Amino acid sequence: MALDPVVEQLIDTLNEQGLRSFEQMSVAEVREVIESFSELQAPKADLARVVDTVYPGPDGDQAVRLYIPESDAPLPVVVYIHGGGWVAGSLDVTEQPCRALAADARVIVAAVSYRLAPEHKFPAAPEDAFAALNWVVDNVADFGGDATRVAIMGDSAGGNLAAVTALRARDTGSPALCAQVLVYPVIDGTARFPSWEENAEGYLITAAAIGWFWEQYLATLEDAENPYASPAKAKSLAGLPPTLMLVNEYEVTRDECLNYGRMLTEQGVPVQVELYSGLVHGVYWMTGAVPRSAELHSAVVEFLGKQFVR
């Protein structure tokens, strides 16, 4: 399918404004650009409470923000890990999609921060993410959450960290997860599937940019073979929770996502893969600029509703 016309117009506008590919920017510039995604978002949903607190990470406290709808009964919980190439992103730029998810899915969304590269290379981010998950499970009852109904979710590099965190939870035997939601995750640091060439340029995130993000994140080339950096390298994926995988047609990483979905299915994990024609990386955050971003949001809400049924 042709590129979605709204997305095409958005890309043309950004190009006219002089947007460069991320690998051509400094780390500070990358962070500034990714924070600007909040300008492409819809108005924020009202919730009963939003609580800012911290969880104890391996290298000190890290921020966590809890989005809490009104409820008379304990609510299911989604631990959400933001994207940004492990280099950028924040709780602020993802506030609108997190609020919308909490309101529409009737869940507590616990959005967690983590140490960013290149100041903090692998394995800092996955260590923080796993510590955050454990903190949420141990403490969410104090905020009206049901610690027996917890899912992990992330987009892009956050999708990578969500997949890694689900692996670690399986490997250590806890916490138990009801589901994982992987929104166009960056899943394999060594992959070079056809989509790397087909979508190398012209769709917001270039192949060169994906390579640059990996370079900022990994401490050594060998780290790309570690399943806690590249989940596709795990010897086994059996025993992982039911999975929703959202993938866009014009993604550099499209084929590695689809391949991970196939791997999960082959090893007995219930998997729902949704491939969105005409869309590009990043649209989950573009709720005010790209109307079809609502399709991804609706798929997440529907999937979680099924997984959280008691």
Structure confidence at residue 247 (pLDDT): 98
Question: Considering the chain, what is the average pLDDT of its residues?
Answer: 97
Cα atoms found within 13 Å of the Cα of residue 103, Cβ hemisphere only: 15
Cα gap 139→29, rounded to integer Å:
36
Q: Span 140-159, mean pLDDT? A: 98
- Show the DSSP H helices in 199-282 as ranges: 207-217, 254-266
Residue 89 has pLDDT above 80, yes or no: yes
Kindly report whether the peptide bond that precedes residue 123 is cis, defined as omega within 30 degrees of 0: yes
Structure confidence at residue 1 (pLDDT): 74
What is the C-alpha end-to-end distance of the chain, expressed in Å? 39
Q: Span 142-164, mean pLDDT? A: 98
* 247 within 8 A of 259, measured Cβ to Cβ: no
Q: Which amino acid is at 107?
A: V
Q: Give percent of the chain with pLDDT exceeding 70.
A: 100
Structure confidence at residue 310 (pLDDT): 67
**Homologous superfamily of 5-308:** Alpha/Beta hydrolase fold, catalytic domain (3.40.50.1820)
Reported as a pLDDT band with limits 50, 70 and 90, residue 282 is very high
Reported as a pLDDT band with limits 50, 70 and 90, residue 68 is very high
Q: Span 200-210, mean pLDDT? A: 96
* 162 within 8 A of 110, measured Cβ to Cβ: no
Q: Span 253-263, mean pLDDT? A: 98
Q: Span 212-221, mean pLDDT? A: 97
Q: Span 233-244, mean pLDDT? A: 98
- 13-44 pLDDT, tens digit each: 999 999 999 999 999 999 999 999 999 999 99
* 230 within 8 A of 167, measured Cβ to Cβ: no
Q: Which one-letter DSSP state was computed for residue 74?
A: P
Hey, where are the domains in the chain? 5-308
Q: Span 59-76, mean pLDDT? A: 97
Residue 144 has pLDDT above 90, yes or no: yes
Three-state SS sequence of 92-105: CCCHHHHHHHHHHH
Q: Which amino acid is at 282?
A: G
- 94-110 pLDDT, tens digit each: 999 999 999 999 999 99
- 180-190 pLDDT, tens digit each: 999 999 999 99
Cα gap 120→185, rounded to integer Å:
20
Residue 50 has pLDDT above 70, yes or no: yes
